Amino acid sequence: MRAASSKEIKDELGRRSPKELLDLVLRLARFKKENKELLTYLLFEIEDEWAYVQSIKALMDVQFEEINRKNYYFIKKGMRKTLREIKKYIRYSNAKETEVEILIYFCQKVQQFSPTYKRSRVITNMYDRQLKLIESRLGKLHEDLQFDYKEGVEGLRRG
């Protein structure tokens, strides 16, 4: 079975009644956790982006505390898991400011992590990729926001 294009789906949804749309959305939410998480964001959290960012930061704090510190293999796996999860939440938001804010916080957490990330080439490369991503996203923000965030990025570069 081939998936319909976005335009085809949009046209078909336009022909459906509100009751049918509600049934479709509820059915969609039943099948995947990500669908349910996205609907939760769109219905309950989209109005307060700041609170959404704070909840992601709190989640990140918990995940960094739970990372197994026995060796760099486990540290790398834990950091990748955290990064994968925050990227999912960034996709839900679709706001560049949110993305930059969360990625800067992730890099700060990596910097503060003990043992240091600089002893592992893989973790250092992951950290550097996130810094490059932050810098590329900064160019798409308003000039005032760019200035505010650039100071944070400079601190990450020095650290």
Separation of alpha carbons 109 and 126, rounded Å: 13
Structure tokens at 138: 């900064």
Which pTM value belongs to this model?
0.85
The tens digit of pLDDT for each residue in 52-86 reads 999 999 999 999 999 999 999 999 999 999 999 99
- Whether the CB-CB separation of 113 and 105 falls below 8 Å is answered with no
Least confident of 25-39, 47-61, 81-95: 25-39
The tens digit of pLDDT for each residue in 119-143 reads 999 999 999 999 999 999 988 888 8
Structure confidence at residue 2 (pLDDT): 79
Residues with Cβ within 8 Å of 113's Cβ and at least 6 positions away in sequence, in order, are 64, 67, 75, 79
